Every structure is written in C-alpha cells, then in structure tokens.
A = this chain, B = another copy of it.
Amino acid sequence: MIKKLLEISFKKCDEHSPLYRQLESQIIQLICHGILKPGQALPPSRELALSLQLNRKTVVATYEELDAQGWVETRDRSGVYVSRNLPDTSAHTIKQHSPDLTRNLQPAYAIINRSSDVVTRTDSGVQINAPEMPTPLYKIDDGFPDPRIAPIEELVREYRRFGKGRLANQFLTYGPEHGSYRLRVELANFLSKTRGLQITEKEILITKGTQMAIYLTTQLLISPGDSVFVPEPGYRDANQTFKLAGANLTFIPVDKDGIDVDRIEQLCKTQVPKMIYIIPHHHRPTTVTLSAERRMRLLRLADKYGFALLEDDYDFDYHFSSSPLLPLATLDTGGHIIYVGSFCKSIAPGVRIGFIVAPEVVINEAAAIRKLIDRQGEQLLEEATAELLKAGDISRHIKKSHKVYQERLEHTCMLLREQLGEYLTFDKPNGGLAIWATYRENISGKAVALNAGKLGLKISDGTNYFFEPDTTRPNDYIRIGYSSLNETEMAGAIDIWKQALTLFKAK
C-alpha cells in the first residue's frame, strides 16, 4: 500500500531535484499528512527500490537522511519505522488552503488597494521581461534620465575595484546603517558646493533613492490621524506613503509659482499640519518651480506654526532658465526642514542612491528604522558612487547631460508645437526632465494612450496625476518625459502619437 502510494506520488515529482531528496520529501509529506503513522514500518529498501525503479543505494541514502532528521527510526535487523515520537495526524482534517494569511492582512492595505491600478502595475516602469507584456517601440516616460549617457562604465569599474581582494572583505560584509562613511563625507561636500548647505556627514543618511527618504521621514514624523498638507496635482507615491502611515491629507492647489502658500497660510489659522510636503524644483507633475517669494513665506510660516517641511528636491540638477534655486533647507534657520534627493535623475533611476539631510538627531533616528527595514545599503554601489563624486565624474556628467537635455527639450517643444499643436497646449518648463501639456477640449487622454499603445507607443493615460478623482475637470493632462529619448526616437514617438490622435478624432 505504501509502496503503491509512493509509486504514484513519486512519479508526479519535478526533475529539478536529486532523486533521494525527492523520495525523502515524499515520505515526509506522507508522514505529515497522517498517511504514514508513527511506528508504522516502511518497505525494505530493496523492495522499494525495485518498485520505484531506483538504485537501492538511493533508497538507503533516503532512509539514512530521514533517520538523521528524526522522521524515522532504524531498528537493527527489523527495519525502518516512522518515528514513534511524532504526533499522529491521521485523524486530523486539513483545511484546504484556508485564507488565514489573507484574512490577516492589515486594513492599511485597503488604503493602497482602493486606488488599485497604482499598486498592481508599475506606473513609472515597465514590467521588464514579464512575458505577458509586449515591449513597445517607444516609451514616453515620466521624465527619466537616459542611462545611455550616464557614467555607468566608470561606476562599474569602481564597483569592480571595491569588490576585489581585501576591499571585498570590508565592503561585502555588514556595514553601517547610515550608509558609507566616505559617501556621506563626499556628499556633504557636493551638497555644500551645489546647494549651499552647510552640513557635515553627520547630517546625512544615505537611502535607496528619494522614495526611501520619503518613507523614513514619514515613519519618523507621522502617526495615524496626523495632518499632512500635499500639493494637488502631486506625487502619488508620496501621498500613498503618507496614507499608509495613517495621515489625513489636505490637498493644496498648485499654480505657475508652485504650491499655493496663501491657501496654506489661511488653513494654518484653524488647522496646523504636522508636515507639509513640497517639491521646490519642477513640481511633479506640473513642472513649475516654487518662487523665491513663496519660499520665504513658507519658511516664515514654518517658524510661526512649527510644522515640518519635507522638501523633495528630486530634480535639482536640470534647471535651465537660471542656476537652480537654493533649497529651503539652505535658508532655514528654524530647523524645520528634512531635505531629500537622489542621484536617480542625475545618474540613472536604477542606481538607487538617495539621501536625507536633517539635524543629526533626526538622522540617527532615521538610521535606526532603516536598520530594521533592510539593515544597510548596497556598500559596493555606495563606495563606487563616493569615488565618482570625489573624482568629479558626477559633476562632469551633470554638466554634459545638462546640455544634452536642454537640446532635447528644445527639440521636443518644437515637435510638439509643429506636430501636435492642434491637439494640445503647453508652456516650456524652466527646467526638469518633463513637459506638462493639456489636451484640448474633448480629447480623452485615456483613449489616446490606448490607441498609441496599439501602435507601439507607451504614453501616460493621465490617471495618476491627481490623487482625488474629480469628474468636473474640463481637460485631460499629460506629462511628457523628453530626456530618455534622443531626437530620432522622439520624432518617431511623436509621429505615432499623432497617428493615435488622428485615430481618436476620426471616431
């Protein structure tokens, strides 16, 4: 009977695993399911080998393993038996895949999942290599840099150097949760040079991109029920992060000078928020830059009301109309600001190096949580980035790519005006890697994106810009990342887009 059972189950096995391990697994399963009972005899190895068409040595090895692991006991002369100290589960009814884990999922996930499409698909990436999604010919993204012009060779060269010999021993073991000491020192220099921040490495925590910086700040400052002011339209992943921590979001409008500080001032009179989230350069999605006047007023309000300012300067490097504006963090005298940024725009999104700048005590608290999240960053990558910063490779790349992107911006604006002028309007942004355009009346961004997709162009369907649904909005919008496509590619992409628009209009 047991032989028969094993014959059946054994044949169902996969080819990945060594035979003795497969047989072992089968016998353990039979024991756990109560089919083989404590004390019951197993077939003699010779017999079982014959009936399963295995070498007898395989069966003997399996029995020895099972014995060593405590599943069976071998009695001299009389054979192999299921261990008598195991519990008898033969009368036990097994619930078939009871949904316990699912039932136990936290209510918090309802928050994310209510806006379901955001979570199940990667709204700003591609489900790379997943066979169910065909690769489009072109993709107009959310405003990502072009990794083809980034100093990746240099980065990998350094990565390689730090992964060798004596250094490997240092950088491939556990490291500090604050991030690479050298990178923090180099970054303090770099931020002081580019942004006028007067800081040392003690005020810096290395994170995995801006997203982790936002997440850690939120975990530090926000308790369930806390009020957070956020721009609308705004950055969905930040809003989700605040919601996940239980924040109540208040949406502040954004105009051509950035977030509406009048509105913030007015609201503060009755309801002071715990934190305000701002994107000072090239607001995501509308690309506007917070004006000098509003920066000053925001700082005064922070002084007056004591709220924290989370300053997400994700796109500092590519400002074209002037030098980038100094961060609010540079001008702050009240210790209200947590300043976050990354190299995801200036090197490549896949190079996940970001940072938090804040008072030392805040940095240490953030590091304590960071340790519980993933213990540490990728040390080889952090050391390699430190080296590139020190050698000036990153500054040189920013300078070089600044020129490339400015040209691509001019070219894309020209194409948009000439090719798509009858379908959309836009203002040329003063910086950043995207253009914010408004479809003319009665054009559905969703329908156009669908058409474009069929023709081989992936573009945004516009559903992720506003956090709160509002069916009365008269126009559809689209954010056009122009920097990751060269001129030929962009011309090809806009050509398809135009076809998609013509198709839409023809209907």
- Asked if A101 meets B308 with Cβ closer than 8 Å, knowing A223-B107, A292-B86, the reply is yes
Mark the stretch among A52-60, A123-131, A421-429 that contacts chain B.
A123-131
Establish whether residues B334 and A374, one from each chain, have CB atoms under 8 Å apart when the complex forms: no
Establish whether residues B358 and A374, one from each chain, have CB atoms under 8 Å apart when the complex forms: no
| A16 surroundings in chain B (CB, below 8 A) | 189, 192-193
Q: Beta-carbon contacts of A298-322 to B below 8 Å, as 1s and 0s?
A: 0110110011100000000000011
Count the copies.
2
Minimum Cβ distance to chain B for residue A227 (Å):
12
A95 within 8 A of B: yes
Establish whether residues A322 and B376, one from each chain, have CB atoms under 8 Å apart when the complex forms: no
Q: Beta-carbon contacts of A190-215 to B below 8 Å, as 1s and 0s?
A: 00111010100000000111011001
Minimum Cβ distance to chain B for residue A450 (Å):
22
Tell me the chain A residues, 69-111 only, with Cβ under 8 Å from chain B: 69-71, 83, 85-87, 89, 92, 94-102, 104-109
| Bound-state Cα–Cα, A188 to B404, Å | 43
| Bound-state Cα–Cα, A203 to B79, Å | 40
| Bound-state Cα–Cα, A21 to B171, Å | 36
Of all chain B residues, the one with the shortest Cβ separation from A218 is: B372
Establish whether residues B25 and A196, one from each chain, have CB atoms under 8 Å apart when the complex forms: yes
Minimum Cβ distance to chain B for residue A155 (Å):
7
- Asked if A372 meets B169 with Cβ closer than 8 Å, knowing A293-B87, A338-B101, the reply is no
Of all chain B residues, the one with the shortest Cβ separation from A92 is: B300
Minimum Cβ distance to chain B for residue A393 (Å):
15
A32 within 8 A of B: yes
A365 within 8 A of B: yes
| A222 surroundings in chain B (CB, below 8 A) | 106
- In the complex, which of the residues B168, B174, B182, B325 contacts A148, with contact meaning CB atoms closer than 8 Å? B168
Tell me the chain A residues, 333-363 only, with Cβ under 8 Å from chain B: 333-336, 338, 348-352, 358-359, 361-362
| Bound-state Cα–Cα, A100 to B302, Å | 10
Of all chain B residues, the one with the shortest Cβ separation from A330 is: B25
- In the complex, which of the residues B17, B102, B148 contacts A192, with contact meaning CB atoms closer than 8 Å? B17
- In the complex, which of the residues B100, B108, B368, B374 contacts A109, with contact meaning CB atoms closer than 8 Å? B368
- Asked if A152 meets B168 with Cβ closer than 8 Å, knowing A300-B92, A326-B25, A378-B381, the reply is yes
Establish whether residues B152 and A172, one from each chain, have CB atoms under 8 Å apart when the complex forms: yes
Tell me the chain A residues, 237-288 only, with Cβ under 8 Å from chain B: 237, 240-241, 244, 274-275
- Asked if A372 meets B168 with Cβ closer than 8 Å, knowing A83-B293, A101-B335, the reply is no
A476 within 8 A of B: no
Establish whether residues B372 and A274, one from each chain, have CB atoms under 8 Å apart when the complex forms: no
| Bound-state Cα–Cα, A126 to B173, Å | 9
Of all chain B residues, the one with the shortest Cβ separation from A372 is: B241
| A148 surroundings in chain B (CB, below 8 A) | 168-169
Of all chain B residues, the one with the shortest Cβ separation from A171 is: B350
Mark the stretch among A156-164, A409-417, A462-470, A494-502 that contacts chain B.
A156-164
| A504 surroundings in chain B (CB, below 8 A) | none
| A175 surroundings in chain B (CB, below 8 A) | 122, 125-126, 128, 350
- In the complex, which of the residues B28, B112, B208 contacts A331, with contact meaning CB atoms closer than 8 Å? B28
- In the complex, which of the residues B17, B176, B352, B368 contacts A376, with contact meaning CB atoms closer than 8 Å? B352
Of all chain B residues, the one with the shortest Cβ separation from A122 is: B176
Minimum Cβ distance to chain B for residue A104 (Å):
5
Establish whether residues B156 and A169, one from each chain, have CB atoms under 8 Å apart when the complex forms: no
